Chains A and B, each alone.
Chain A
Amino acid sequence: MDFNLAGVHWLSDLLLCTQPLPVPTIPTERQFYEENKPFTCLDGSSTIPFDRVNDDYCDCRDGSDEPGTAACPNGSFHCTNAGFRPTFIPSSRINDGICDCCDTTDEYNSGATCQNTCREMGRKERESLQIMAEITKEGFLLKQQLIHEAKRGQEDKQGKLTELQGSKKGLEEKVEALRTVKETAEDPEKEAKERHLKAWEEQKELIRMEKDKTRMAEAFLELDDDADGYVSVAELQSHLELDPDSDGSLSETETQGLLGGADKVDTSTFETVWSGIKDKYLSEVSQGQSEPPAPVETPQEEESRDFVSDHDSDHYPEDYAGEEDVEDDEEDDHEEEEEEEEKVPPTVQTPEKREDDEVSMPPYDTETQSLIDAAQKARDDFDEAERALREVDDQMKNLEKEIGFDFGPSAEFAYLYSQCYELSTSEYIYRLCPFNRVSQKPKFGGSETNLGLWGQWAGPEDNLYSVMKYDHGQGCWQGPNRSTTVKLTCGKETVVTSTSEPSRCEYLMEFTTPAVCQEPASLDEVLHGHTEL
C-alpha cells in the first residue's frame, strides 16, 4: 500500500466520499447540517463551507464542524445505537481501535472489528429494568408500609413522650412529697437514736465502774498476803511493774510513796492507792498465766502473703499470653488489672482485742424502733420514686433522641433504628447497625473493630438519602480513623449485600432497603419510553 501522499488521499477519500458519514446523527440538530450550504458553528463563532464539515480538521472552536471525526479535542460523537440507548462519546474515541458504540459506528476507519451488540444490550437492559421495576414496585409498596409504620411509630413515640412527660410531672411531685415525708420521719428517728445511745453510754460507764471496784477488791485480797485487812509496803513491793522510775527495783520509799506515805492501807484507803496503780498493776493470777503469745498467727500471715504473690505471678503470664493483639486489648488489660487489684483478698485479719467486747448495745426500745422503721420506709419510698423518675427521664431522652433522628423525608428509614444487619465474608463478619455503628469481627477469633459511628446522610444534593456515612471509627496506623460509606439501593429486603475496603481504613458497604425505592410510575415511564425505541 502506498501511504505517501496517495495514502492521505485514500484516508480523506474514505472520510469524505466512500463512508456514509454519521453526520448529523442527532435528529434535533440535523437541521444545522444542511448539505451544500455554508455551515455555521453551533456556537456561532464562524461559518465555513459545507465541505469542511467532517473533513477531519477542526474549524469550529466548539468542535461542531466535526461531529463524525476525531479532529476536535472538545467534540462529541453521537451513537444512535438502534435497539439500545443512544449516547454521546468524546470525539477522541472515534476510530481509536476500541468499540465504544454498540452499533459500531465509532470505528468506521480504525480496522477494529466491532460487533453490533445493541440489540443484545437492549434486551439485557430491558430485562434488568423489568426486574428492577418489579423490585421497585414491590419495594415501593413496602416503603409505603414503612412510612405508614414509621408515622404510627412516630405518633406512638410522641404519645409515649407526652405520656411520659405527664408521668414525669407526677413523679417529680411525688419525689418532692416523699422527700418531705422522709425528712419529717428522720428527725424524730435521729432524736430517739441519740437518746438511746446516750442511755447506753451512761450504762456502760456504770458497768465499767462496777468492774473497777471488783478488780480493786480482788487486787486488795491478792496483795493482802497475810490477810490482815491491810496492804503493806512489803506486800506491794513484789510488784515490780509498779516501779515509778523503772530502774528495775521497787524501793521501800517508792512503795511508801505509792501507798500515799503510809506503811499500810486498809480497804477504804486502798481506793485512792488503786486509782494510782491500776493501769500498771498486773494480776498475780494472770501474770502466772501470761505465757508469750503462741506463734499461731505468723504462719497464717505468711501464708496469706504467699497466696497474694502467687496470684500475682499467675497474673502476668495470663496477661502476656494474649499479646497477639496488643493494640486492641490494651484497654481491656487495664480494666482487668484494676479488677485484679480489687480481687486481691485483704490480708487475713488478726482478731483485734477490744476493750469493751463484753457487751453490745441493747436493742432499741419499741418506740425508737418504730420511729426508725417509719423513717426507713420513708427513705425507701423516696428512693423508689426517685429511681422511677430517673427511668422516665432516660426513656424520654431515648425517645427524644429517636424522634430527633433524620429518618428520611417520610421517616421511611425509621424501621432500621436499633436494628443490626450482618454480612459474613471469608474472613470477617461485618455488622451494620443503622444510625448507630458499623463494625467488623474476625470470624476466627479476635476482637471487634469499630468501622465508624453514625455520622450523617451523605448522598448527593439531589439524593441525600442514598448514602450513609459512619466515621470516627478505630484509628489506623499513620492513617485516618476508620470510616464507612453505606450505599443504599432499592430492594425488597433489608440486606447488606457487599463490603469492601477501597482505600485503607475507608470501607464501602452496599445495603438494599425498600426505603429508597422510588415511585414506580416514573420508572414505568423510563421502561415504557425505552421499549418504544
Chain B
Amino acid sequence: LLKGACVTARRMDMEEKCSRANSVSGIQEMDENGVVLSLGADSQWLIVSAKPFRLDIMEGREVLLSLNSRGLLAFEHLRIRTVTSAELVLNVVCPGWLFSPTGPSSISLDFSLPGVEHVYGIPEHADSLKLKTTDGGDPYRLFNLDVFQYELFNPMALYGAIPVMLSHSAQRTMGIFWLNAAETWVDISSNTAGKTVFGQMLDYVQGSSETPQTDVRWISESGIIDVFIMLGPTPTDVFSQYSSLTGTQAFPPLSALAYHQCRWNYNDQEDVAAVDQGFDEHDIPYDFIWLDIEHTDGKRYFTWDPHKFPQPKDMLQGLVDKRRKMVTIVDPHIKVDSSYKIHNEIRSKGFYVKNKDGGDYEGWCWPGNSGYPDFTNPEMRAWWASMFAYDQYEGSMENMYTWNDMNEPSVFNGPEVTMHKDALHGNWENRDLHNLYGLYVQMATAEGLIERSGGVERPFVLTRAFFAGSQRYGAVWTGDNTAEWEHLKISIPMCLSLGLVGVSFCGADVGGFFKSPSTELLVRWYQTGAYQPFFRAHAHLDTPRREPWLFGPENTALIREAVRQRYALLPYWYQLFYHAHHSGQPVMRPLWVEYPQDTATFSMDDQFLLGEDLLVHPVTEEGGRGVTAYLPGKGEVWFDVHTFQKHNGAQNLYIPVTISSIPVFQRGGSIIPRKARVRRSSSCMEHDPYTLFVALSPKRFAQGELYIDDGHTFNFDKQKQFIHRRLSFANKALSSRNLAPGSQFITPSWIEKIVILGASKPSKATLKTPDGKENLLEFEFDASMSVLTLRKPGVNAGVDWTVVLQ
C-alpha cells in the first residue's frame, strides 16, 4: 500500500518527497493469515491480516488506526463497458456526467480511529472546525465547484478540495491523506457522538464505557486507493509529515500580507486613482488595489478595456510612485474568438481540454463561449507561464500580480456549473483529476510571475480552487461569501481547517461578497480580517460602494485602526509565514494545536492563535457587548495587547467590548516584534525601526524571533540573504543573537523601543553591543500594569546586543 503511494506520488510530481516518507522496514512475524511488519520507529507495527483483510497500525499494544476493519474496501476493475438502457436514460439527463467509458471505477476504504472523538480538515466546507458525524445525512463532499451563494454548516462541496483529515485526541494527532483528485465523499461516524455528557459519565460510572472511536469512510469515483497515514504523534509532527508530502506554504512577498482593496469592479483608471487618493486622504494604509473581470477587453484575459484602462502602465506607475501594487484577474476560461491571440495560440497548439469526441471542449463563462486550457499538460503550463512575460502581457509591470478565479473550473452551462466529467485532459477524463485543475492553474500562473522576473521575484497569486499542495503557489480565499454575521463567523473555522492541511495563506472577503453589510458588520469584519492571514475587502458588482471612508468619520477611524494594527504587526506575520514556508506549521492555528492535551480547546472555532504567541477572539456577534475568550495554559499568563493587562491561563475570561475592541492577547513568555510607524504601504515601512514587545512568563522568561529580508525576492533562499535572530529574555537580560549564522543581510532598521510586560522596576538598564560599548538606557515604568518601556536602544536590528536590567 505504501509503496503504491509512492508510485502515484511520482505521477503527482512529488517523487522527491516520497523518499522521506516512512517505509516498511522489516517482517517481524508471520503466519498463514498475516504478517507483522515493523514501521521502524518506536515500537510501531503494521499488522496485515489476510482473511478478512485488514491493516492495523499499532504502537506497543495500542491500536492507532485500522484500515478496512469494517470491510468497506471496494474497488472496480477497469473493463470494456456495455451500456445498460437505464444508464442511457441517465446519460441523457446528465450528459457526460455519470459514466466512464471504462465502466464504473469507484473505490472505497474505511478507517477506524480508536480513542478519537475529534477529526478535522478535508476542506473546503462552510462548516465548523470539528467535523461532524454524517450519520443520517450526506457525507462531506470534495468536488471543486463554483457554488452560488453557498450555505453554511453544510457538507456540500465548495471551490476547493484537500483530501486530508486530521484526528486528534489528548494522546495523539494523526493524519490521513487520501490522494485522489476525483469526486470524493467522506463519511464520519462516532460511537460517542450524540451521547450527552451525562450519558458518557453514566457509561464511565457503570464501567460500561466502550472506547470512543471515530470511523471514517472515504469513497472516490475513480482512481486507485492511495493513502498516506501520518502518525504524528504531535500536531507539529503531522504538519511536517504532511508538508514532506505536498510541500510547504509559499513564502509570499511581505506586501501580500498587508491590506488588499478589491471590488468587482474598479471602473476605470480614474476610479483607481480616486480610491488610491481616498486611502491617503483618510490616512488608511493599503498595499494592493485589485481589478476584477471588467478591466479586460470583453473578458479576454491578458488584455485591457481600451476605454476604461487606456494607459495601464501610467496607472501602475502611479501606484509605483506610492509604493503600492495591483492585482489583475486572469481566469482560465478563454474566449473563443479568432481575433484573440491567446485563444488562437491555445487552439493552434492543441492546448485546450477536449470533449469526448476529440474536439475542443467549450462551455459558457464570463466571456460567453469559452475554451479551457489543459493545465494538466506541462507544455501548456509552460506556455501559459510565458504569457506573463512583460512583453507578452501588455500593460503589465513588476508591481502587478495575479488572481486566478473560476478555476474549479466554472462552466456556467456545465453540470453543477463545472466541466463535464467526460471532458479529456490528454488521456485522462476530467472525472479522474477534476479537483487538480485549479491547482495547476495557480501553479502555471505563479511560475509565470517567477519567470517574468528572471527567477528573482516571489510571485503572488490568489486562487479560488485548490487541492492538496496548492499552498506552494500562493493564497486561497473562501470564495463568494455573503455579507452576514454567520459568514463572518464561519471565516474562522474555514481558514483554520485550511491551515491544518497546509494552506496557511487564507482569508475571506472582508465585508462579504454578496449583499451589503451593515456598518457594524463591516467594521467587525475589518477587525477580524486584520488578524487573518489574507486580508482583502471585496464586494459584488451590484452592491453599493464600501471603501472604508464611506460610513462617516467614526467608522472610518475604526477601520483605520484595525488596518493599522495589521500593519504594525507585519513583522510578526512575516516571521510566521517564514516558518510556515520552512516547516509547514500553520500560521493561523486552532488552540488545540498548541494545547493538545486541553480538551476544552478541541472544538473551539470562535477564537484562534497566530503562531503560538497571539490569541485572537474577534467580536463576531451583532451588537456584541462582550466576548468570553478562553485563555489556555495552566500556569501561563496572557497580556491584553492593547491595555497590557495580565490574565491567568486556563480560564474563560469575559471581556467587555465596545465597537473599537479587538480582543487580542500575547502569551507570557513570548517576544513579538512590531513596527509602530504605520505608513501608507508596507514598502514605505521597510526601513523603519522595530518595537519589541516582551511578555514575561510567570518565571520571568520570554523568547521570540526577528526575521528580516528584502521582502520580495528569492534571495533569502538562494543567497541566504536574511536576518534571523533569536530574542530571549532570561535572568533579567534581553538579548538578540543570530539564529542563522550562514546568512547575511543588511538592514537600516534599528530597535526603537522595548516594551516589557509583567516586569518589575529596575534601577538601571544597560545596553551592551559587540564593540564592547555599554550605554545606559532611559526607561519608564508603569507600576499599575507592570510595564517597563526602554527608550531608544537605537541598536541595529541585525546585530548582537544585550540589555541588562539591574
**Interface on A for B, CB 8 Å cutoff?**
1, 3-5, 7-8, 11-12, 55-57, 70-71, 73, 90, 92-93, 96-98, 426, 476-480, 500-506
Contacts and interface: CB of A to CB of B under 8 A. Distances in A.
Interface string B777-802: 00000000000000110111011000
Contacts of B685: 96
Given A7-B748, A57-B752, A92-B679, A98 B796 contact: no
Nearest to A476: B542
B19 interface: no
Interface in B542-574: 542-545
Given A98-B680, A504-B542, A504-B543, 17 more contacts: A1-B746, A4-B796, A5-B771, A5-B773, A7-B796, A11-B750, A71-B677, A92-B680, A93-B679, A96-B323, A96-B684, A478-B515, A478-B542, A480-B544, A500-B267, A502-B271, A504-B541
Interface centre among A4, A73, A480, A501, by most chain B C-beta atoms within 10 angstroms, is A4
B283 interface: yes
Nearest to B285: A92
Contacts of A3: 746-748, 796, 798
Contacts of B679: 70, 92-93, 96
Nearest to B771: A5
A502 B515 CA distance: 17
Interface in B162-181: none
A501 B753 CA distance: 48
A92 B675 CA distance: 12
A318 B321 CA distance: 58
Interface in B656-678: 676-678
B748 A506 contact: no
Given A11-B748, A73-B678, A502 B267 contact: yes
Contacts of A73: 676-678
Interface of A is mostly: loop
Given A3-B746, A8-B796, A98 B542 contact: no
B545 A92 contact: no
Nearest to B688: A70
Contacts of B545: 502-503, 506
Contact of A90 (B283, B676, B798): B283
A4 B747 CA distance: 8
Contacts of B514: 478
B344 interface: no
Contacts of A98: 321-323, 680, 684
Given A4-B798, A477-B542, A93 B680 contact: yes
Given A92-B679, A505-B542, A5 B799 contact: yes
18 contacts: A3-B796, A5-B796, A5-B799, A8-B750, A70-B679, A71-B752, A73-B677, A92-B678, A92-B684, A96-B679, A98-B684, A478-B514, A478-B515, A502-B267, A502-B545, A503-B543, A504-B544, A506-B545
Contacts of B543: 479, 503-504
Closest 7 CB pairs of A and B: A503-B545, A96-B684, A479-B542, A57-B792, A92-B679, A3-B746, A504-B542
Given A500-B267, A502-B545, A4 B684 contact: no
A1 B307 CA distance: 49
A39 to B, nearest CB: 15
Nearest to A479: B542
B453 interface: no
Contacts of A500: 267
Contacts of A501: 267
Interface in B274-324: 283, 307, 321-323
Given A92-B679, A96-B680, A8 B794 contact: yes
Contact of A8 (B541, B676, B683, B795): B795
A476 B678 CA distance: 40
A12 B544 contact: no
Contact of B769 (A5, A92, A506): A5
Contact of B795 (A5, A56, A502, A503): A5
Contacts of A5: 769, 771, 773, 795-796, 799
Contacts of A11: 748, 750
Interface string B728-759: 00000000000000000011101011000000
Interface of B is mostly: loop
Interface of B: 267, 271, 283, 307, 321-323, 514-515, 540-545, 676-680, 683-685, 688, 746-748, 750, 752-753, 769, 771, 773, 791-792, 794-796, 798-799
Nearest to B681: A96
Interface centre among B515, B746, B773, by most chain A C-beta atoms within 10 angstroms, is B746
Contacts of A93: 679-680
Contacts of A92: 283, 677-680, 684
Contacts of A426: 307
Contacts of B283: 90, 92
A56 B679 CA distance: 15
Contacts of B541: 504
Interface centre among A1, A500, A504, A505, by most chain B C-beta atoms within 10 angstroms, is A504
A355 B542 CA distance: 72
A135 B798 CA distance: 60
Contacts of B799: 4-5
A93 B748 CA distance: 18
Nearest to A70: B677
A145 B675 CA distance: 60
Nearest to B264: A504
Interface centre among A55, A97, A426, A505, by most chain B C-beta atoms within 10 angstroms, is A97
A11 B515 CA distance: 51
B768 to A, nearest CB: 11
A56 B748 CA distance: 14
B748 A12 contact: no
Contacts of B544: 479-480, 503-504, 506
Nearest to A504: B542
Interface centre among B271, B544, B747, B752, by most chain A C-beta atoms within 10 angstroms, is B544
A501 B795 CA distance: 52
Contacts of A57: 752-753, 791-792
A1 B323 CA distance: 25
Nearest to A480: B544
B278 to A, nearest CB: 11
A361 to B, nearest CB: 70
Nearest to A11: B748
B457 to A, nearest CB: 19
Nearest to B283: A90
A428 B593 CA distance: 59
Contacts of B769: 5
B730 to A, nearest CB: 24
Contacts of B542: 476-479, 504-505
Contacts of A97: 323, 683-684
Contacts of A477: 542
Contacts of B678: 73, 92
A377 to B, nearest CB: 64
B406 to A, nearest CB: 20
A509 B773 CA distance: 67
Nearest to B799: A4
A428 B795 CA distance: 63
Nearest to B686: A97
B276 to A, nearest CB: 12
A356 B800 CA distance: 128
Contact of B794 (A12, A70, A476, A506): A12
B599 to A, nearest CB: 42
B560 to A, nearest CB: 11
Contacts of B747: 3
Interface centre among A3, A55, A426, A506, by most chain B C-beta atoms within 10 angstroms, is A3
A480 B516 CA distance: 10
A471 B794 CA distance: 58
Contacts of B796: 3-5, 7-8
A96 B688 CA distance: 9
A15 to B, nearest CB: 11
B780 to A, nearest CB: 10
